[in-house]
Structure 1
């Protein structure tokens, strides 16, 4: 066991005993229905923390603790947390009464600017200011400009897989490949850097990106310590991101700004938007640390979560060949009608592609649960008939178990089955508290449209050229690995081969070395 793991185990144990006496009887004292864990210090999450169960099984077990209750209490490590099940309460907290629950814990209390100063973590008025500043990055007009940059990355990626991967290497860990694509997209769209990570997998942007987003054992313990005892984390100066990684991203921002200022360069990306507000009356400027933090969280959120979403889509397409064939037919039809000239408008007119992505995000939401902190008194109705209401007070925490809600038979027929057609009636799920792959309300993921476009562009170019099949290492049916990360056992292994029935329009452009996008 590593030194850090031993040290953090001792610290968590010691402080846990102290907090145990202060917090552990919270729900009992207030007469709130609650789940009582067998191990008090680490709470209900003990089995997940020590990798005896998967986060998916943990969520499912807690969610079904009392199926009739609108909410109940759970101890997450030493913290009492309100676990919400009722869609009306969830919508009230995330949307209707957002002002009472405007923030999440995030990393705001850490002594780590890269994580503490970004949009995910910041709170109050600062969050409102930065959210208003960054929102124009994700309008339709900006998406249309970024579409060209994304398409270049997707074409390079798909062409590499369909022309440069020998047959004996066609079995691959597809998430590893997809992280290279998401790395390249974010590098060009957020940082203004052109990279081809399939051809050059040792570039620093990709290497440091993997290092920053990998949740190995030591970092898991650090994360738990910092989220439970943030003050101690500041005192000990414990960090999740190593200094050489944060320094690398900060240097990129500094260099990019200096180069663009000196050479009068403009690009349709996030850095440019943050640069453009400088000197404008009434607009809050961001310093280098703030700008780096915003660009980094865009990277941190998109590098892993988007590639994971793509991997789950690819897995389901390989496991359901009838769905994959139908989707390839839709793609070929668009290639035929557009003569290979695929535009931003074209990519957003796909119907079946949208259904496939929506259903995948239901089965495997990027974030398994949402968190909100109470900022002012809010009365919860009785959890069960005959129970009393409970008034949440400032500082109390609630969790919304997105994964469990997405798999609840109360809201979805045959919820474990991959059935894209269920989203044909998309109005039923729009702005719904039982479909929340990107969250809900003012604090939902600001980059959800960007992420969806990134996935669509990738799948279009990949499936136009390649066929996805299970291989010997594919886990069927899918089983989740034990621990805090929602990943299948053994990874996302698939067989990826060039299509034998590629559309003639695409065949001719590839033969000529020209691909329109």
Structure 2
């Protein structure tokens, strides 16, 4: 090939690419939808990419620019996204016209079957069938079955802190602590594996979890690539989770199911519930791969997302001593009424604890935005007065900015203030409260997550006092490099054993009685 021909081909390709990108970045201008002028290739993500602003703050800033719009345009790099502000329209999209917007945009490619088969990644009728099968596993009665397992983990967690922090107190990175608690909870409730991540901090379950869900480094980059360049990651067969991680979870689930089938063991956990589904359906839907996929996403949510929410919860309790004292009074009252034996009914009747957890999830929802993908053509009303309706085509991304809605003074008075009382006086409208999502796609395990958080806080305040440390950032600021909401500089707090709390020796803790069918996983 002559040099001139090669140069002509390269120039033609560059011009074609330029006009392709330009056409994408003119999408909202052509439709006259409110938006912020994008930067080539980076779209509206530049402040986050250059670490000038966290992703959640970036979305919040643009949200505040268009207070009278029903929705506005946002460029996720070169991908146009409709960000819905109007709560009536949010309900129309996520509930009334759910069939038009029933899918998520997945964060892994087709090469990773274990993750693609889970409830979050499934789409269309396959998702509907799986959701219908799994829903009975997350009823209140099933949560009550797992309540004792969660309490064991929380008791172990709080006893460890009572002994180690002592009367003098000790400063901790709460993310590291609460990841260990969350690891133990999910290991026992989802996989039937008993681990003690406080006495054995390098147990395999915890180490694998940290490798799989370390969103401060490689995982965050892979999440970004999969969401924005799925064809690229598919062609290069790039994986979000390593074969080692997939093999570990498949072996755990496969061995557990085999032992229980052979020995007739019953245990109140997720694997047992899915085995029951398998048996009812004669194995036609639920094989080992399916059980592994659902257990894995349960671990994903419980290990990372819920542990982060618990960090925000602990932070607000520490920096608001009046709220901590009021909550501890409720805890002490429950302990008196139950003779020191917490019950499922007692914790669910704790109104102030419920309000504190709900207010934390309002200030810091699990996700800064909820996403939907259009699967059927849909007409949006005009974005602004005197505007024109917009026809949304299949494949178009829709975002519901849950964090921004939760901080909108139109819906919440003093939205940046931590005020649990707003959930006690009837101020909160459920249609503008969406920490676990909204509509049929709402998180299926939200009851479990709430129980895990409440049990943790109950045991922690029962035995410890929480205080800010010199490393604690007040007010809270978000990390500029994490795709998910994280605290800038970490979640540092000082913990100190309460004077009235008698410490439990490590010998007592290491001799906990196992549950029938529960395996021990120590080094």
The question of a shared fold, defined as TM-score above 0.5 by the shorter chain, is answered with yes
Q: Matched residues in 2 for 1:497 and 1:408: separation?
A: 36
What's the counterpart of residue 476 of structure 1? 474
Shift of 1:223: 2.1
Partner of 2:242: 242
3-state SS of paired residue (2:371): strand
- Per the TM alignment, residue 216 of structure 1 is displaced from its structure 2 partner at its CA by 3.1
Instruction: Report the Cα distance in structure 2 between the residues aligned to 1:371 and 1:314, rounded to whole angstroms.
Output: 28
**Corresponding residue SS for 2:455:** helix
Report SS of the residue matched to 1:472: coil
Partner residue, 1:493: 492
Q: Aligned residue for 2:36?
A: 35
Structure-2 residue corresponding to 1:456: 454
- Asked if the contact 2:165/2:497 (under 8 Å) is kept, the reply is no
The Cα of 1:18 is off from its aligned counterpart by 7.5
Determine the structure 2 residue equivalent to 1:8.
Answer: none
2:41 equivalent to 1:45: no
1:225 offset after TM fit, Å?
A: 2.0
Aligned to 2:11: none
Shift of 1:16: 7.9
1:185-240 Cα offsets, whole Å, 9 max, x none, are: 10011000011101111011111101111113433332222212212211100011
C-alpha spacing 1:216/1:308, structure 2 compared with 1 (3 Å): closer
1:401 corresponds in structure 2 to 401
Provide the secondary structure at the position in 1 that maps to 2:439: coil
User: 2 CA distance for matches of 1:289 and 1:19?
Assistant: 40
Q: 1:177 is matched with which residue?
A: 177
CA distance in 2, matches of 1:228, 1:412: 33
| RMSD of aligned alpha carbons | 2.4
Q: Distance in 1 between matches of 2:17 and 2:166?
A: 53
Which residue number corresponds to residue 139 of structure 1?
139
**For 1:14 and 1:459, how far apart are their aligned partners in 2?**
58
Change (3 A) 1:347 1:509: farther
8 Å contact kept, 1:137–1:269:
no
Does the C-alpha gap of structure 1 residues 270 and 426 become closer, same or farther in structure 2, counting only changes over 3 Å? farther
Q: CA deviation at 1:386?
A: 0.6
Cα 1:177/1:14, change in 2 over 3 Å = farther
Q: 1:113-512 maps to which residues of 2 (within 5 A)?
A: 113-165=113-165, 170-281=170-281, 284-426=284-426, 428-430=428-430, 432=431, 434-483=432-481, 484-502=483-501, 507=502
Q: TM-score, normalised by structure 1?
A: 0.91
Whether the aligned pair in 1 keeps the contact of 2:250 and 2:289 (CA below 8 Å) is yes
1:326, 1:31 → 2: CA distance? 51
CA offsets 1:481-506 (integer angstroms, 9 cap, x no match) = 2122311221010011111244xxxx
- SS at 1:398 equivalent: strand
Name the CA distance, whole Å, in 1 between partners of 2:260 and 2:165: 37
Check whether the contact 1:473–1:493 (CA below 8 A) recurs between aligned residues.
Answer: yes
**C-alpha separation in 2, matches of 1:202 and 1:156:** 17
- Give 2:10's aligned residue: none
- Structure 2 unmatched runs, 5+: 1-13, 514-523
> Per the alignment, do residues 180 and 15 of structure 1 end up closer, same or farther by CA in structure 2, a change over 3 Å counting?
farther
Runs of 5+ unmatched residues, structure 1: 1-12
User: For the Cα contact (< 8 Å) 1:103–1:123, is it kept in 2?
Assistant: yes
Q: Secondary structure at the match of 1:278?
A: helix
CA distance in 2, matches of 1:342, 1:333: 11
Query: TM-score, normalising length from structure 2?
Result: 0.90
- Distance in 2, matches of 1:511 and 1:213, equals 29
Change (3 A) 1:16 1:496: farther
Paired residues of 1:378 and 1:391 also in contact (CA < 8 A): yes
Cα deviation, residue 278, structure 1: 3.0
Q: Is contact 2:169-2:496 (8 Å) kept? A: no
CA contact (8 A) 2:28 2:34 kept: yes
Secondary structure of 2:417's counterpart equals: coil
Q: Are the aligned partners of 1:174 and 1:311 in contact in 2 as well (CA < 8 Å)?
A: yes
Contact 1:108–1:122 (Cα < 8 Å) also in 2:
no
Aligned residue for 2:224, secondary structure, equals helix
